[in-house]
Amino acid sequence: MATSEARTDELGALAQLGVAELHSAVAGIGTIHRSVAGTVFGALRPVLGRVVESPRMVHDAVSEGAYQSMDALLDAADTVTDGLPTTDRPISHTARGAMLLGILNGLIGDELEATRSPLAAPMSIRVGGEPVAVETSALGQAFPDAGGHIVVFLHGLMESEQAWTIGGRPSYGHRLAEHISATEIQVRYNTGRHISDNGHDLADLLTDLVLLWPVPVRRLTLVGHSMGGLVIRSACHQATERGAWWPQLVTETACLGTPHLGAPLERGVHAASSALHSVPATRPISNLLRRRSAGVRDLFHGNLTATDWANQERDSWQHPPGADVPLLRTARHLFVTATITRDPRHPFGRLIGDGLVLAPSGRGEPTRRRLGLRFSDGFELGGAHHFTLLNSDDVYAWLLGQLRPRRALPSA
């Protein structure tokens, strides 16, 4: 697709989506309003009798007229979206646009993909916000200093590759290029899709990348923040099941704040949506919570395979744990956890973790089973939140020490 067409399509789709969401919001507010008004007038009728009917009729006429007027206004706005001005670059190629679409994809990315919206981010390598085709010539042009050690970075839920430069500091990959001559590959993907679907696409992308890279690949390191770590584990598992070659090149995976065994926030939202659905007045709020994407729902237990969700009722009160997916045997598996409190053992830090992920989940250490991560391959960062792990001098110093080439011991 030409760049001008991409600009027009993305801007028009974003405007139409905004109008559609406002339609949905107005309908939800109207449902709550009608339910509350019906309850109030119903309670007054036994006390005031038929006298309550006149104000009820006036109320209903005014409120329904207001909602119909808002719908008509939104319908009129929907007809002019095609005439919106274009920008110099597609929205998805700009830093702010990538951030906006990252959040949007995390919320309803599965819906966007199902409707083939241009706002749904396909998995792709990005340089300066622009996609790079996985072809030898395109890769050679995008990475003129390509080396044999590739470090692939996958962002987390509702993020984009721009998240690795949070705070305005150089990314981990940029610094690794200077210190150990590794080549940084930043991947953008639709975090609203199932983790297993993104794992499948990542496995395919790495298969092509290793084959078409300008120089022979001798070492592959995979780094994921939050959900990105789960996508990496899923990709490694699926590629191994298929007999792909690239997993043999993986020397390390690094999971930064990854909820290997689920995130409590998703479980809380799931419980809240179930409880709110039982009351008519709060059902629209429940319906809004139930719109959360497939990717978010996979965080209930950290599901990595399609069988974990294929036969499950989306809104059932409880979900059984997913399959035990083994770690890649031929690689070291590094991990970083964080706690809001400086002392990771502080009761509040153990309760809250990094704000989104609890430290035991990041270490793969529940009472039910142990993932197999080794304590010596982990790093705990105190006084930090979930997004600190995207760009931290302390985390980078530790990561650099783990990825530096290690001198082989002399043979006996």
Q: What is the DSSP secondary structure assignment for residue 275, as one 8-state letter?
A: H
241 lies in the same domain as 195: yes
DSSP string over 353-376: TTSSS-HHHHHT--SS------GG
366 lies in the same domain as 227: yes
Single out the residue in 84, 112, 133 at which a domain terminates. 84
Number of domains in the chain: 2
Single out the residue in 50, 84, 118 at which a domain terminates. 84
Give the H/E segment covering residue 126: strand 124-127
23 lies in the same domain as 137: no
- Supply the CATH number for residue 222's domain: 3.40.50.1820
- Domain with 200, as residue range(s), is 104-262+323-403
Query: For residue 35, which amino acid is it?
Result: S
Contact yes or no for 256/294 (Cβ under 8 A): no
**131: how many CB neighbours lie within 10 A of its CB?**
18
Single out the residue in 84, 113, 128 at which a domain terminates. 84
Cα–Cα distance, 390 to 155 (Å, whole number)? 8
Helices (H), 49-87: 53-78
In a domain, 339, yes or no: yes
116 lies in the same domain as 80: no
In a domain, 315, yes or no: no
Contact yes or no for 230/258 (Cβ under 8 A): yes
Write out the chain's pLDDT in tens, 412 residues. 456 555 557 766 666 655 554 545 545 454 544 555 455 446 556 755 665 455 555 445 544 544 454 455 445 445 444 444 455 678 889 888 898 889 889 988 998 899 998 888 899 999 999 999 999 999 999 999 999 999 999 999 999 999 999 988 999 999 999 999 999 999 999 999 999 999 999 999 999 999 999 999 999 999 999 999 999 999 999 999 999 999 999 999 999 999 998 887 776 666 666 676 566 656 555 565 666 888 988 888 788 888 877 777 766 656 667 778 889 999 999 999 999 999 888 988 888 899 989 999 999 886 555 577 887 899 999 999 999 999 999 999 999 999 998 655 455 4
151 lies in the same domain as 209: yes
Cα–Cα distance, 410 to 82 (Å, whole number)? 69
Q: Which of 36, 23, 109 is nearest to 67 (CA)?
A: 23
> What does residue 389 show for φ and ψ, rounded to 5 degrees?
-65, -15
80 lies in the same domain as 219: no
20 lies in the same domain as 165: no
Tokens matching residue 155 = 């962002």
In a domain, 96, yes or no: no
In a domain, 380, yes or no: yes
Cα–Cα distance, 151 to 149 (Å, whole number)? 7
Q: What is the DSSP secondary structure assignment for residue 332, as one 8-state letter?
A: E
234 lies in the same domain as 353: yes
Tokens matching residue 211 = 């084959």
In a domain, 239, yes or no: yes
154 lies in the same domain as 229: yes
258 lies in the same domain as 346: yes
